[in-house]
Structure 1
Amino acid sequence: MATSMWKTSVLLGQKLPRFLRLSAICRLSSSADTALETSQVEYPPIGPTGNELSYITRMESIKNAATVPDMIYLLNKKQCWNYQLKPQCFHPNFLPIYKHATKTHIVEGLPNYVANFVNSDSVGQVAANVKDSVQNFALGEMMYDYRHRTCNKDIFNQPLNKSKGFVDNMINHFLLTEIGQSPHVVSGEFDHDVEVNSFWDREDTRYQYTGTPLFLLRTREPLQEFTSKDSELSVGDVESYPYKPQWYSIFKQHHNSKCFPGLKYGNPINYGHTQVHVYQSDKEKMLDAGGQPYIDEHVLGQGLMTSFGWMTGMSMYNKHYWDDDLTRPMTCNTIVTDGQNFSFFCYQLNTIALHSRVSETNQLRNVCWYTKDAQLYEKLTEDGEVVNFNVDVLKTVIGMLMMPPGMNMLEAEEKPAQNELEES
């Protein structure tokens, strides 16, 4: 107020009392000095916001959890929106969102070690011994079993039921042969028709996976990595998916996330080896709807999604999650079949650190090797003949089940580079 009075008096040519003039001058000089000092101040960097600080504190408490059940409880005790990812999505061109959600790079062809082992003499001898039995199972289930021809056609006369019956008989027979005498199979465990659940955060989105494999083979020792964690296949990024999941008919539910990789915690046989999934759709209808590329995309998506979902659950049972990444890769084999056509997958989980807080500095990506659909046989005749039975497909099934864990696959002789499907 004194300053304004002084300015007014000067303009009007009036004199102010001495104490008011001195006070106004001091205030004007002090304000000028303050402005000069303010322009030279260096402020500290802006710290995390309240939500970020809360997230960091929560992740630290989860990382310090005493046991795996405590860690999983802290991760899923708060209900949130979970986008439900199934083994199959029936929309065309859905594969990019599966690749983005799992950060997976796709490579056509099997890894070198797997291809060499499948073509070994020991696997070929076992395939020759079980070939006739497999043909009889195919004829019995697909041609002569009348439980698929009952009056309830809509329930029993489905390709899914026929495929399950054939694969059931085939795998159960394998366990009575040299395959069942393999050390890792004797000391391991087979799960039949079990539900598998896992969840993870990709950037700021929570995904929930639910699948039902027909068979799971678990072992006491893990399979070694198919490729080095520092190789060109394991390092890089995948193509981002700019759209929200709900725009692609991936529905969300508000519930507690679930993690169950097919076994209860505490089981010492807690490493995934091989899983068998039955294709859940009628391929003849899909062939009429979109042709063979439509089928190939869905089979590839099912193999990718089921492999990642199983390995993510297994990684949590080994006390890893998206803020405490894997120390070594986890690998598994996956077989997808409809009883006649077989596709084979080898998956290497290099990282689950996919949250936006850590994904920008994480250069690792997961890798999925695959083979396209191959027919086990061309057709079955009413005379009991199996036309064009493909022994190579049978050898691949047997080779994946017999593959011993605990071996260094990277010592296998390097071959020319794999034929990559894409560089994303």
Structure 2
Amino acid sequence: MDIRPYTIAIPDEQLAELSRRLRHTRWPTPSPRRWDDGADFDFMQQLMLHWQETFDWRVQEARLNQLPQYRARIDGLEIHFIHQPGTGPQPLPLVLTHGWPGSFIEMERLVPLLTDPGAHGADPADAFHVVVPSLPGFGFSDPAARPGMSSRQIARAWAALMTGLGYTRFGAQGGDIGAGVSTWLGFDYPERVLGLHLNYIPGSFRPPLGQGEPPVSLEEQAFLERSASWSEEENGYGHLQGTRPQTLAYGLSDSPTGLAAWIAEKFHAWTDGEGLGVSTDTVLTNIALYWLTNTLGSSVRLYRENRQQPLHFGSGKRVQPPLSVALFPRELPMPPRSWVERVYNVQRWTPMPRGGHFAALEEPELLAADIRAAFRPMRLQR
């Protein structure tokens, strides 16, 4: 596998064009319902003012370039990834997969906690060799050139990447779309995946139901109703991205303010905290990455691909590697353990004291500690 170092270097003219567009934003009429109708008008004006006058991409770029980044050609696509070897007696390879509207930036603070736990007050024996790929069509990874690149095909690409890096057996971790990719890795490569750690169970997940299967319990039925209610009120974005992603892409690829509103509203709604739940510059770095790489359209196309190949399992199908789940209180609707155990080999089910959907950004120390604990029993199985 041809693996080459990669350095982020956005041309000056792109930054100048972005600045011009921000200065000439055409604002909509404010809504009297504030956040109830979507991204709040006053909040967005302040956010865009910060982006235009205070935020410095070059500062963020220089910091991100301290991460060991590479690109490799896999299945005809150039895939961007971080590869940080661990510091410890016998680090365990671990592939971390982000989701939408996130990016590899989500894992920036998590990586050192996993690769060098001894430097952060934890046991050096819990170290990992960490690989953080950017999903196809996200950030500095190529978009798929043809239909069919769903989370299951991405899992195949990740297995090839880990082989190219010399890792025969490894663990997989993720939330959001990353949880689906990690699940497919465990399902399709059980002989290679030592274990899974997920901080979200994808909403598309469905175990086998009906004749020959246990009846739906009261707790499971309550989850299905709660999930349906959330979908009715909150999942308009997902339905649009899963059905007409290209139409959406025209507007959000032409307006940085529109793109920022589309993404910032999710940070406001899905994090466990005030405002955006994490620092303004963190969210703007993530938004700027989408803008500067022009990947909003290719990223949301993955929703349509996953709609075509959802995370559904037939009777008798199992995800064999042991699964650990970290339950963050402000996460999107999560199923009960019994629902997950219909397919997964659940070994740990850990309620967390705080945090939301963007766990690696919001609570990297809590997430790192749970990942270390989850994989500790598996290290002797390599």
Question: Is the structural similarity TM-score above 0.5?
Answer: no
TM-score range, shorter chain: under 0.3
Of Structure 1 and Structure 2, the greater helix share is in 2
Larger radius of gyration: 1
Greater relative contact order: 1 or 2 (C-alpha under 8 angstroms, separation 6 or more)? 1
Calculate the TM-score normalised by the size of structure 2. 0.25
Calculate the TM-score normalised by the size of structure 1. 0.23
